[in-house]
Amino acid sequence: MEKKKKPVPQDGFNRFNRIKPATNAVFTAIFILLAIITFLPLLFVLIISISSEASIAQNGYSFFPTELSLESYAYLWQSKAYIGRAFLNSVGITIVGTIIGLCLTSTLGYVLYRPNYYMKGVYTWMLIIPMLFSGGLVASYMVNTQIYHLKNTYWAMILPGACSTFYVIVMRTFFQTTVPDSIIESGKIDGASQLRIFTQLVLPISLPVIATIGLFLTFNYWNAWYSAMLYIDSNHRDLYPLQYVLISIEKNISFMARNEDFLTEESMRNLPTETMRMAIVMVVVIPIACSYPFFQRYFVGGLTIGAVKG
């Protein structure tokens, strides 16, 4: 008879972190339930967007509509000259804003991280004071419109939110806790400039924090609509982002009817209401939701910035 294998002895740390099969099953069931609860609102919006107007008028919002219809998506397709332009505006603003924001945040965070930079304290206070004491909406509006002349331009929706003090502090903290000084010194010994050290040595090992801040910037720019309301006049509707169009539709469905030059006669006669709102929500949510998996592995690593390692 074969001898039974003796259990491998475990130290105190492994015994402390060991999870029993029953406990593991309970945790798995809880996380599955939370995932379903999180997904249900999106599924509900999708079902409403493919329901018919008659079904909603008769039964209200329901997971089981009596009649399905793609009328809202057909309407969006017929109005692609207006809504499609707003969608492309949001895509362009998000991409350009995220790239500019990452460049400003990473370079400023690297400068503040270097201990031998003699202006480090001055720039740190220049960042912290505006974060605690804002100049206010009127002051920022006057600066952006009268001094920088950003009114009725794409830059009005990009530059004001490109650099955040919080993101700079996170970037600086990551550099201080993760990037060893030996790497910087080795680059100096090899005769590399500061720009080359930053781009070829520091950035490759800083992907977690770059991806994390890039994801936050992407969310902020994609969901932004307030700057468009402030800086874009109604006679520059070709600059509107998709989110501002969505907010305007939610406030008053007649917003679409007033833009007759962008809509066809057929779309004006068959103007959907509730289903169109939900269809536009799906158009806004799906692109940003699809971008998250590309950031996920770096995002999880970025959440552990500043953690204590044993």
Q: Give me the domain span that covers residue 171.
A: 72-302
Confidence (pLDDT) at 297: 63
| DSSP structural state of residue 225 | -
What are the backbone angles phi and psi of residue 4, rounded to the nearest 5°?
Answer: -70, 140
Residue 162 located in a structural domain: yes
Collapsing DSSP states into helix, strand and coil, what is residue 233? Answer: coil
Residue 137 located in a structural domain: yes
Ranges of H-type helices in 18-157: 21-49, 53-59, 71-78, 85-113, 120-132, 137-142
Confidence (pLDDT) at 15: 56
* Mean pLDDT per 10-residue interval, the chain, length 310 residues: 52 59 85 88 84 76 79 76 84 93 91 82 82 80 90 92 88 86 83 85 86 88 89 87 79 56 53 70 77 64 44
Q: How many domains does the chain have?
A: 1
72, 278 in Cβ contact below 8 A? yes
Collapsing DSSP states into helix, strand and coil, what is residue 51? Answer: strand
Residue 18 located in a structural domain: no
Residue 296 located in a structural domain: yes
| CA 56 – CA 67 distance, rounded (Å) | 9
| CA 55 – CA 65 distance, rounded (Å) | 6
Residue 44 located in a structural domain: no
Identify the bridge partners of residue 51 per DSSP, sorted by sequence position: 68
Confidence (pLDDT) at 3: 53
Tokens of 85: 């332009």
| CA 97 – CA 9 distance, rounded (Å) | 55
Confidence (pLDDT) at 126: 83
Least Cα distance to 163 among 119, 112, 229, 92 occurs for 112
Confidence (pLDDT) at 280: 75
126, 68 in Cβ contact below 8 A? no
Residue 307 located in a structural domain: no
Residue 168 located in a structural domain: yes
CATH no. for residue 120?
Answer: 1.10.3720.10
Residue 226 located in a structural domain: yes
**Long-range contacts, stretch 54-61, CB < 8 angstroms, 24+ apart:** 56/274, 56/275
Confidence (pLDDT) at 105: 92
- Over residues 238-249, the pLDDT tens digits come to 889 988 887 776
